Amino acid sequence: MSTDVALLNASYERLGSVPFKHAVRMLFREVATVEEGRVDRMIGPHPWPTVIRLVRYVVTTWLYRDGAWSRSNLLRRDRHTCAYCGRRAETVDHILPASRGGLWEWTNTVAACGPCNHRKGDRTPAEARMTLRFSPFVPTRAQLAAIG
């Protein structure tokens, strides 16, 4: 019962997902309808929802603004993959180290595994002779939600 339910706009574009309890509240407030559900289980007059669609269209221009930087969003952007070796990443690495004035921003941080982060230390990737597998970029809120 704690699973998420996919949420579609009235135009059938994916907006993300909502917790199951919130989806049920949306159904009973009649702001959404069930698009896909389990017909073998019911919640009142509604089938058990797996995908719901909003009744009215919601303008989503806010989705295309830059996403907020956070550790979890950075790991999501980089898909928990180390920018140096490709293994599973669990730490944040500054391309220009913070001790040298590097900022906590999208274009200066990448996900890194512990060994690579330790190996790079307080140096730039060039100084440590380590190459980035991809260039860091500023994701939009829509890109972060799609990776989600």
The token pair that represents 62 in the structure block = 């806010």
pLDDT tens digits along 48-72: 999 999 999 988 777 788 999 999 9
CA nearest neighbour of 54 among 78, 22, 101, 87: 22
Would you say residue 148 lies in a domain?
no
Shared domain check, 85 and 44:
no
Residues 134 and 71 in one domain: yes
Asked whether residue 134 falls in the same domain as residue 85, the answer is yes
**% the chain with pLDDT above 90:** 82
Residues near 62 by beta carbon (within 8 Å), at least 6 away in sequence:
141
| DSSP secondary structure letters along 32-44 | EEEEEEEEEEEET
Same domain, 80 and 19: no
Query: For residue 148, what pLDDT band results from cuts at 50, 70 and 90?
Result: low
Per-residue pLDDT, 3: 85
Structural contact between residues 17 and 5, judged by C-beta atoms closer than 8 angstroms: yes
Strands 91-94 and 14-19: unpaired
Residues 33, 6: Cα–Cα separation, whole Å: 12
83-111 mean pLDDT:
97
pTM, to two decimals? 0.63
Would you say 136 and 95 are in contact if contact means Cβ atoms under 8 Å apart?
yes
- Length in residues, the chain: 148
Please report the pLDDT score of residue 2 as a whole number.
55
Within-domain flag for 18: yes
Is residue 44 included in any domain, yes or no? yes
For the segment 102-120, the average pLDDT, to the nearest whole number, is 97
Together in a domain, 12 and 54: yes
Question: pLDDT-derived band of residue 41, with 50, 70 and 90 as boundaries?
Answer: very high
Whether 42 and 84 map to the same domain: the answer is no
Number of domains in the chain: 2
Element containing residue 141 per DSSP (H, E): helix 141-147
What pLDDT score does 26 carry? 96
Given a cut of 70, is residue 78 above it in pLDDT?
A: yes
> CATH number, domain at 128?
1.10.30.50
Q: Which domain holds residue 108?
A: 67-138
> Are 34 and 87 in the same domain?
no
Give Cα 144 to chain centroid, integer Å: 4
